[in-house]
Structure 1
């Protein structure tokens, strides 16, 4: 799977809005239009934060940063999430 290059977003303190689709057929990351949240599809089910963790891992990989640098600010139990890069 080819991920888009999101290294331009890798600025400390940057907040990235995402919309997560759990239990998808395949993992994908769609940039979409400017001003819209990134759309992340993950194959795991939304239990015990697994989908959030998978989305964070995929986003970190596309940004080229360590996954531990992405902190969930809001949306632990929602499809709409906000991550901050520390």
Structure 2
């Protein structure tokens, strides 16, 4: 039995979340987990914001903060600042954040 890849990794301060951003979308929202061709998993996030001077990244943080019930200041970009594929650090109770992710 193979396990499904996860779009996150627990850390001592919360979790690292792997996301794929679709900027310029018709709506802001979370489309769920996508398994990529290389077998990794990412959380698909759509935002209306344009990919200009960090506007889309800021919008992604707002969408995720609302969905996970954490303040925007608890989420930071650890890699992929200007790329579609990003790694975000989410501060908080890791298991509780995972439960909220699973409910999305």
Q: When the two structures are superposed, what TM-score results if normalisation uses the length of structure 1? A: 0.80
Deviations 1:27-53 (A, max 9, x none): 120222576211000001000000000
Which 4+ runs in 1 deviate beyond 6 A? Answer: none
Alpha-carbon distance change, 12 to 30 in structure 1, aligned in 2, over 3 angstroms: farther
Which has the higher relative contact order, 1 or 2, with Cα contacts under 8 A spaced 6 or more apart? 1
Residue in 2 that maps onto 1:17: 18
Identify, as 1 or 2, the structure richer in strand. Answer: 2
Structure 2 residue 62 is the aligned partner of structure 1 residue 61: no
Larger radius of gyration: 2
In 2: Cα distance, 1:16 partner to 1:32 partner: 11
Asked if the contact 2:34/2:44 (under 8 Å) is kept, the reply is no
In 2: Cα distance, 1:80 partner to 1:39 partner: 9
Q: When the two structures are superposed, what TM-score results if normalisation uses the length of structure 2? A: 0.67
Structure 2 residues not aligned, in runs of 5+: 1-9, 92-104
Structure 1 residues not aligned, in runs of 5+: 1-8
3-state SS in 1 of match to 2:57: helix
Q: How many residues align?
A: 77
Aligned Cα root-mean-square deviation (Å): 1.9
